[in-house]
Every structure is written in structure tokens, then in C-alpha cells.
Amino acid sequence: MGDLLLIRHGETAWTVDRRHTSITDLPLTAHGEQQARQLTAPLQALDVARVLSSPRTRATHTAQLAGLPDPHICDDLREWDYGAYEGLRTADILRRRPEWNLWRDGVPAGTDQPGESPQEVGARADRVLASLRPDLDSAAGIVIVVGHGHFLRALAARRLGLPPAAGSLFRLDTATVSRLGTEHGRPVVAQWNESRDHPARDVRQEADRSVGPKLPGQRKGLHFK
């Protein structure tokens, strides 16, 4: 089975302010562009079978700057629809609803946005995975998906056979690369939330070092220098 690489878009003005951003189509900041360019070197050596991106500018521009110039645009990769909470910080929402939890409660509809529940986001993630299954099953190369924080976390959860709400367990920073591989035919987390600013260990290789030599056919992790 092939690996699935998840890339979150680079920094925007609203990620700096920690505002919920779904349909608002913000550009990358100058730092966000720099973050995206820093992904180029570790991605160059990969045998890539397919690249998909959210339609939002912050995702497609990240892909282009990272050396992935012609991704297939997939509308199901758009960010969680934040409905009435678009543009708000979590702290703002909690002042209104102290017990609110995105991963449990979802968001209510706004004037121009319907909002989404965790189940609806999970259904979108399942559609994406179903469309990628032939590529992932063939092991012809790595499949790369460029998208958004909350949706990619839900996508990872569903790839691992977990409910969408389990995405709450996976922190995902801007312009990071995460890799879902396989072990004994089952999806596993191989690397997570790695970037030049957030170096991370290759989870699978760390485990292998503790039990024996590298397994035949095992892929190396991405490395940021």
C-alpha cells in the first residue's frame, strides 16, 4: 500500500490571529510563502503518484511554492465549514458557549455558511479516501494532499479507521508535512507535523530501531535541514 502525505497550507493573517478560516479565501503571508518554499527540498526526492489540493488560494499557492505546480483540485478537501463561527477565535466562541467543543458539537449555520458537524466532515474525508484508494492500494507512489488543519486531522483519523472526532488528538501546524504509511497492511502514523520549524522523529523508524534492523522495503522519512 502507498503512503499518504498530508500538507497543511502556509501561514495566513488569520492563522496568526488563530481565527477560524474556511470559505474566507485569504492569501499566504510573506512568512507563509517562505514556509511553503521550504517544503520543496524534502518533497523533491519523493516518487509522487498523485497530488490533490483544496480549491482555496492558501492551499493551491502552498502547493505551487512547494514544487507541486499542477495539483488536482478537489472541492471535498476544503476546510471544515465554520458557519456562524467564521473569523472567530476559539476564545471568542467559548465566551458565548463555555462547553463548546468543535470535535463534538460542530458549528451552527451562519448567514452565508451552513456550518458542518463532525459527521459531515467525516463523510467528506471518506469520499476523498475512496477516490484515492486505487492509488494507495497500488503502491505506485506517494499520494500528496494539500489542505487545511481541521479537515486534514479528520482525514487522518478516518484513514486510520478512527471516528472523525479523533482528529482532535492530532495537532497540525501551518506548512507541516505528515505521513500516513502502513505496517502489516494497516494504516499507521509514520511521521506527523514535521517542518523546518517543527522537526519530528520518524515514528516508525524510531520503533524499528528499538526492535531490530530496518525492514525490507521500509521507506525513509522526510528530512528538513
Q: Which residues contact 163 (CB under 8 A, 6 or more apart)?
A: 118, 122, 157
> Would you please indicate which residues are annotated as catalytic (active-site) residues?
9, 79
| Upper half-sphere CA count for residue 154 (Cβ side, 13 Å) | 29
CA distance readout (Å), 50 to 2, 109, 146, 165, 204: 11, 34, 11, 27, 23
Identify the burial level of 213 via C-beta atoms within 10 angstroms of its C-beta, where 0-12 means exposed, 13-18 middle and 19 or more buried.
exposed
CB 219 within 8 A of CB 181: yes
- Quote the CA–CA distance of 138 and 1 in Å, as a whole number: 6
Here the cell at position 63 is 502547493
Closest listed residue to residue 181, CA positions, set 46, 70, 54, 76: 46
Here the cell at position 111 is 448567514
Identify the burial level of 152 via C-beta atoms within 10 angstroms of its C-beta, where 0-12 means exposed, 13-18 middle and 19 or more buried.
buried
